[in-house]
Structure 1
Amino acid sequence: MLNEPLQDLEAWVIFFSDAEIPILRRTARLLEDARQNIDKISGRDIAKIVLQDPLMAVRVLAYIQSFHGKHLRSDITTIANAVMMLGVEPFFSRFESPVTIEATLKSEPQALLGVLQVIRRVQRAAKYANDWAFERHDMNVDEVALAALLHDLAEILLWCFAPRLAIDIRDRQQADKTLRSTTAQEQVLGIRLFDLQLALCGAWHLPGLLNTLMDDANAHLPRVQNVTLAVNLARHSTSDWKDAALPDDLSAIEKLLHIKRETLLSRLDIPAESIPQSLANESEPPQQGMPPNDQAQ
């Protein structure tokens, strides 16, 4: 565990590259159950388990890139393809007996709650991104959903390995609602988490496409908009549907999907009484509608 910030970005990258990344206890349990039934388990079954856990997902991606590196004609950009490339039995051999987040943070209950909240948030973001990419007839829905799941990877890692620093950042923002997250990160860590994330993606040889999709600076691209809006909606609706940023989020989502406000609220399963009336009434002009999605899980 780190109680003090490291000296620079390179030191952070080295630290996380040398660490054993933990996964959710539930993921470990599901994978062990699957291993016990290996004759009945497919690669897609394994991928479904992995895609509920951002840290397990990045472990698989980093391993497949390093394992097959020079032999790959193109990047592996989805978990299903990574598992298929590895094979079911080699997958279970490689990821046997993983360390869990719950064990890592057993003496840090505040941090455990904090990281589980972030993971829950990115799970919702991935679900939103998946649904919207499907409606947009995206060329590869899984890539978009995975980018949303990994969008806040560095924040999750910080909660796991430097919980006191993560709590400090959170407390500063709660005390000053105008404090931007990047400013709080630089105050506590001396770096921005986004810069750390990009550096880790490079060090772990993660697919360049995922870097592009996770980078909000590429927001002119519809696929990146899909990821960014899903991440923003999940973040701004963490507590309730009254965040001041939500009107802009919803307007942008309507534009991306070409749907009306009423349709979007129905699809998100937001009770009308839970949001400000002005927010419920705002809408883009009617355009081509799409069938409703399930509620985010």
Structure 2
Amino acid sequence: MSSTPQELVTRDISAWIDFIRKAEIPVLKHTAREIARLKEDEDNLSARAISSAVLNDPMMVFKVLTFSQKHKGKKQLQDLVQADQAILMMGTSSFFLNLQPKVLVEDILKSNLPALMHLLRLVRRAHQAAHFAADWATHLADLHAEEVRTAALLHDLAEMLMWCFAPDKMNAIYAMQNADKTLRSVAVQQDVLGFRLQDLQKELVEIFQLPPLLSKLMQDNASSEQRVRNVILAVNLARHSANGWDDAALPDDYSDIAALLRMDIDRVMRIVGVPRIQ
């Protein structure tokens, strides 16, 4: 890798894409520790056990899926959209040989604790979005709810990576928005980074050749389709509820979810866990 995150000060999105393409994607310390523990008993290990460790970390899920896409077998007729399927297909030996965690999020951000805290909150939010999306997909009788879960989990991957690789800029974006709630995210991102995170996300999905189905589910511009709409609304609800259940955007979220699930708003609020006011 020719440059470190600290050296990359460009506002050119293509330079950032090239950097991330060559970079070792960091994973959470807990993920690396759990995978190392599992490797000690590799001979008696199942793919399911590895999957449990991988699925807790969106960045590790991303590593697994992109590796799987890059090393598809000749007999593999379908793209693998779920990390557990990819691990099962590649086998435990290949997983440990090729996907051992090398760079830890906590090491990269050890001198920038605010950025680390923001990233960990974003990861928790991604898991919440994934939970919402899978739950609603089941309600809608979607036979492939886990695909929707994966799309929601990785929806904000570009933001996660920028917290790792450009923490000072991401802290600046957060500070500006926290000081002025009326600022639009895309405008602040354009001002500070020189590009929008959603544009970086789209480019990363293409450059890393994520499965077409997964990339489609992650594209907000296809929001008229039910499964894509599911992902978008799950991400929105997770984002807004993370600010507290009194966030001003939540009533609109409940209304949109009610339309998706074809149920009344009161029931939506119950199933998503809105606390009852005493």
Measured against the shorter chain, the TM-score band is over 0.9
Aligned residue for 1:147? 151
Q: Give the alignment partner of residue 80 of structure 1, picking from 84, 95, 112.
A: 84
Matched AA of 2:212? G
Distance 1:158 1:221, change over 3 A: same
- Residues 254 and 261 of structure 1 are in contact (CA less than 8 Å); yes or no, is this contact kept in structure 2? yes
Residue 46 (1) aligns with residue 50 (2): yes
Does the 8 Å contact 2:28/2:57 carry over to 1? Answer: yes
Query: Does the aligned pair in 1 maintain the 2:126–2:235 contact within 8 Å?
Result: yes
Q: Tell which deviates more after alignment, 142-151 or 41-50.
A: 41-50
Alpha-carbon distance, 1:71 to partner: 6.0
TM-score, normalisation: structure 1? 0.87
Partner residue of 1:206 out of 203, 210, 228: 210
Letter in 2 for 1:130: A
**Would the aligned equivalents of 2:27 and 2:101 in 1 still touch at CA under 8 Å?**
no
| Structure 1 stretches of 4+ moved >6 Å | none
Q: 1:217 offset after TM fit, Å?
A: 1.1
Q: Deviations over 1:210-248 (max 9, x none)?
A: 111111111110101110111000000112111111011
- For the aligned residue pairs, the C-alpha RMSD in angstroms reads 1.7
Moved more, 262-271 or 116-125: 262-271
Distance apart, 1:70 and its partner CA = 6.5
Which residue does 1:294 correspond to in 2? none
Shift, 1:76, TM fit = 1.5
1:234 corresponds to 2:238: yes
Given that 1:213 and 1:223 are in contact with CA atoms closer than 8 Å, whether structure 2 keeps it comes out as: yes
Q: Which residue of structure 2 lines up, in the alignment, with residue 177 of structure 1? A: 181
Task: Give 2:6's match in structure 1, choosing from 2, 5, 13.
Answer: 2
Q: Count matched residues.
A: 274
The answer to whether the 8 Å contact 1:3/1:165 transfers is: no
What secondary structure is seen at the aligned counterpart in 2 of 1:90? helix
Give ranges in structure 1 of 5+ residues lacking alignment: 275-297
Q: Is the contact between residue 5 and residue 190 of structure 1 (CA under 8 Å) also seen in structure 2?
A: no
Q: Secondary structure at the match of 2:88?
A: helix
Residue 66 of structure 1 aligns with an amino acid whose one-letter code is K
1:49, CA displacement in angstroms? 2.0
Which amino acid in structure 1 is aligned with residue 90 of structure 2?
Answer: L
Matched, 1:243 2:247: yes
Q: Which one is further off, 28-37 or 201-210? A: 28-37
Shift of 1:40: 4.0
Give the C-alpha shift of residue 137 in structure 1: 1.4
The answer to whether structure 1 residue 217 and structure 2 residue 225 are counterparts is no
Q: For 2:83 and 2:115, how far apart are their aligned partners in 1? A: 28
| Matching residue within 81, 106, 113 for 1:109 | 113
Deviation at 1:32, TM superposition (A): 1.8
2:230 is aligned with what amino acid? N
Q: Counterpart amino acid of 1:244?
A: A
Give the residue type in structure 2 aligned to 1:164: D
CA contact (8 A) 1:35 1:92 kept: yes
- The equivalences for 1:4-43 within 5 A come to 5-43=9-47
Please state whether the residue corresponding to 2:277 is helix, strand or coil: helix
Q: Does 1:67 align with 2:43?
A: no
Contiguous gaps of at least 5 residues in structure 2: none
Distance in 1 (CA, whole Å) between partners of 2:54 and 2:185 is 28
Cα deviation for residue 267 of structure 1 reads: 2.1
Instruction: Using structure 2 for the length normalisation, give the TM-score.
Output: 0.93
